[in-house]
Amino acid sequence: MVGSKKKFHAGWMTLAYIALIAVAICMIIPYIWMLSSSFKLNKDVFSFPMVWIPDNIRWQNYVDIWTRIPLGTFIMNTVKLSVIVTLLQLLTSSFAAYAFAKLRFRGRNLLFLSYIATIAIPWQAYMVPQFIMMRELGLNNTHLAIIFLQAFSAFGVFLMRQFYQGIPDELCEAARIDGLSEYGIWARLMLPLSKPALSTLTIFTFVTTWNDFLGPMIYLTKTELKTIQIGLRMFISQYSAEYGLIMAASVVSIIPVLIIFLALQKNFVQGVASSGIKG
């Protein structure tokens, strides 16, 4: 009886793994096709039947994309914005989350709920007032507009606060007895213990900022300030028939995101899981 249950369980696990592998293959096929197309001539991109490995690999596509548009400038602008916004969100989110999780003050829960409730408001509902505010401050056509608007994240505070809730309060009390200030507890105790949550927030923030299209499109009109997503749109507009070049530029644009994810993926799942332990 026990053996039959084990066989039944093993059969279901096998089916589950097969289904997950099939889903993973379906999700990765478009990226493999994009990579394959980036090495093809334009006439071969949509050839049928599909040739995954082209007979004549065209490396020139990866050379031309740097000369047709200022791709290097777009990438550097995007790296600059993504790194600065990510660092600021890690700082502000972890700092605010520590206060909401470990400090006792009047109106704490109400303030936290009010702040988190802003997640439910779509950005399109207040992007016009934000634009007017940035214009009045003279920050249009500057990277500072995007940096200031994205330096704070209600989602980041929620994620970090949930993780901090899982850290025993006794550790903070012991640190206070040893003479550490609240700033010291946050810097020397909470941050080292929250690497999984910080890694998760880093991935979310970096990817979101890197892939942001509407924000840079609204605030940045000068070519030398534009980001990679706006640059790709310009590239598609100018060279709509040169699919090999478009695919090559798309491959280059996802490399930094892939590097960040692979570097932090060990802590990613742990951070997501542990952030939901306590409410």
17-36 per-position pLDDT tens digit:
889 899 988 888 888 888 88
| Amino acid making up residue 78 | T
Q: Give domain 60-274's CATH architecture.
A: Orthogonal Bundle (1.10)
- Among residues 19, 79, 26, 68, the alpha carbon closest in space to that of 209 is found at 79
Copy the structure tokens of residue 274: 């542990």
The pLDDT mean for the chain works out to 83
- Among residues 105, 121, 206, the alpha carbon closest in space to that of 156 is found at 206
90-127 per-position pLDDT tens digit:
999 999 999 898 888 888 889 988 888 888 888 888 88
Is pLDDT of 279 > 60?
no
Any idea where the domains of the chain sit in the sequence? 2-37, 60-274
Distance of CA 43 to the CA centre of its chain: 34
Q: How far apart are CA 231 and CA 81, in angstroms?
A: 15
Buried b (16+ CB within 10 A) or exposed e, 80-107: ebbebbbebbbebbbbbbbbbbbeeeee
- Whether omega before 196 lies within 30 degrees of 0, making that bond cis, reads no
| Amino acid making up residue 171 | L
In order of 38, 56, 60, 74, the CA distances from 242 in angstroms are 10, 17, 13, 20
pLDDT band at residue 83 using 50, 70 and 90 as cut-offs: very high
- Among residues 118, 90, 77, 87, the alpha carbon closest in space to that of 219 is found at 77
Q: How many C-beta neighbours within 10 Å does residue 159 have?
A: 24
137-146 per-position pLDDT tens digit:
888 888 999 9
Rg (CA), the chain: 24
pTM of the model: 0.82
198-231 per-position pLDDT tens digit:
888 998 899 999 988 888 888 888 888 889 888 8
Is pLDDT of 1 > 60?
no
